[in-house]
């Protein structure tokens, strides 16, 4: 039985997807580098926010491996801190959206009838919304006029929370439709009928019997949406409506570099390349997980 369990078979199928393995390794390196940002800054003796106007646009050196920006701040330290923000926003928003979509899809797929029709029409309505213009409008709203407490609206991290909330509120539709389709099939399976015959209630059946079998589509959809969320955050930050300074993110680092593209093109190249690599890696990872978690995949 060794090496023939479900986890072993999944790992073997995933290992054959070389692009997915390379993408997972790339994302792991980026995540570890972002987590270790304070340690890296301390080792170099720099700070992401320290301004040194006498050292503007310094070339790469031992003290500043990627040079400095227009205010003399260390570029590497700012990229690492920006990665912490961009990756955390992407993963948090994707997980929140997946949780909302899973609940809605599970309720619609298991109960069916009028509840299914109502929830799917709501889903269709959200899908029909023009996503980018809607995100721009929601990101530009003045939170102070919405009656939110000053402790929230005056927080330095309010732009980060806003992006997560906005993306989670409109990004759950794909997961909802996937979960709903799988739940419609699973509710007629023998193990669900047996649980119902033994007196199990709808909540217990959904949580204990159906939900564990939905892990595969939910994990794949969450992985794929994480890259899209990072891209959306970068677009909003590039438009000045995303993560606001002094908090660095790859998106607003790219925004700050657009006026210096001819003077210091590397300032735009670094965050742009990191966004590109991260989004591509999440997409390849999602493809690899989809193949690995699909029970219909045949071993060769």
pLDDT tens digit sequence for 13-69: 777 888 889 999 999 999 999 898 888 888 878 877 878 878 888 888 888 888 888
Structural domain boundaries in the chain:
9-40+72-293
The predicted-structure confidence for 165-206, as pLDDT tens digits, reads as follows 888 888 888 889 988 988 888 888 888 888 888 888 888 888
Distance CA 230, CA 244 (A): 15
Q: In whole numbers, what is the pLDDT of the chain averaged over residues?
A: 82
Q: Which residues contact 168 (CB under 8 A, 6 or more apart)?
A: 93, 96, 97, 100
Residue 296: per-residue pLDDT: 55
Q: Give me the mean pLDDT over the 150-178 stretch.
A: 79
Q: Which residue has the higher pLDDT, 244 or 59?
A: 59
Residue 237: per-residue pLDDT: 77
Distance CA 271, CA 197 (A): 57
Instruction: Look up the CATH number of domain 9-40+72-293.
Output: 1.10.3720.10
Question: 286 and 22 in contact (C-beta within 8 Å)?
Answer: no
Q: Which residue has the higher pLDDT, 257 or 148?
A: 257
Q: How far is CA 159 from CA 34, 116, 156, 248, 274, in A?
A: 20, 35, 8, 11, 21
Residue 6: per-residue pLDDT: 65
Residue 22: per-residue pLDDT: 92
Residue 1 has pLDDT above 70, yes or no: no
Tally helices (H) and strands (E) across the chain.
14, 0
- Strand, coil or helix: 74: strand
Give the distance, in angstroms, between the CA of residue 25 and the centroid of all CA atoms in the same chain: 17
Confidence of residue 147 (pLDDT cuts 50, 70, 90): low
Phi-psi region of 199 (alpha: psi -120 to 50; beta: other; left: phi over 0): left
Residue 300: per-residue pLDDT: 44
The predicted-structure confidence for 93-113, as pLDDT tens digits, reads as follows 899 999 999 999 999 988 888
Q: Which helix (H) or strand (E) holds 130?
A: none
Question: 77 and 40 in contact (C-beta within 8 Å)?
Answer: yes
Residue 28: per-residue pLDDT: 93
Buried b / exposed e along 177-200 (16+ C-beta atoms within 10 A)? bbbbebbeebbeeeebeebeeeee
Q: Give me the mean pLDDT over the 121-125 stretch.
A: 91
Within 10 angstroms of residue 47's Cβ, the number of other Cβ atoms is 16
Q: Read off the pTM.
A: 0.83
């Amino acid at each position: 039985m060794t090496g023939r369990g479900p986890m072993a078979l999944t790992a073997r199928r995933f290992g054959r997807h070389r692009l997915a393995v390379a993408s997972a390794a790339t994302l792991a390196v980026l995540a570890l580098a972002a987590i270790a940002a304070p340690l890296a800054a301390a080792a170099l003796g720099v700070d992401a926010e320290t301004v040194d106007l006498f050292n503007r646009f310094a070339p790469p050196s031992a003290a500043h491996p990627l040079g400095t920006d227009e205010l003399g701040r260390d570029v590497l330290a700012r990229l690492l801190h920006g990665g912490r923000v961009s990756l955390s926003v992407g993963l948090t928003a994707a997980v929140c959206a997946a949780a909302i979509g899973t609940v809605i899809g599970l309720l619609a797929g298991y109960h069916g009838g009028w509840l299914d029709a109502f929830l799917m029409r709501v889903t269709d309505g959200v899908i029909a919304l023009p996503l980018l213009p809607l995100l721009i409008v929601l990101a530009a709203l003045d939170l102070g006029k919405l009656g939110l407490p000053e402790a929230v609206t005056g927080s330095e991290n309010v732009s980060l929370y806003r992006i997560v909330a906005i993306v989670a509120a409109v990004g759950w539709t794909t997961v909802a439709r996937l979960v709903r389709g799988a739940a419609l099939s699973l509710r007629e399976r023998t193990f669900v009928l047996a649980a119902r015959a033994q007196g199990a209630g709808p909540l217990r059946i959904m949580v204990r019997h159906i939900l564990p079998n939905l892990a595969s589509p939910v994990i794949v959809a969450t992985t794929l949406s994480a890259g899209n969320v990072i891209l959306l955050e970068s677009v909003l930050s590039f438009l000045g409506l995303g993560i606001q300074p002094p908090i660095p993110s790859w998106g607003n680092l790219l925004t700050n570099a657009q006026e210096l593209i001819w003077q210091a093109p590397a300032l735009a190249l670094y965050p742009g390349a990191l966004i590109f690599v991260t989004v591509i890696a999440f997409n390849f990872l999602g493809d690899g997980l989809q193949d690995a978690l699909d029970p219909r995949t045949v071993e060769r």
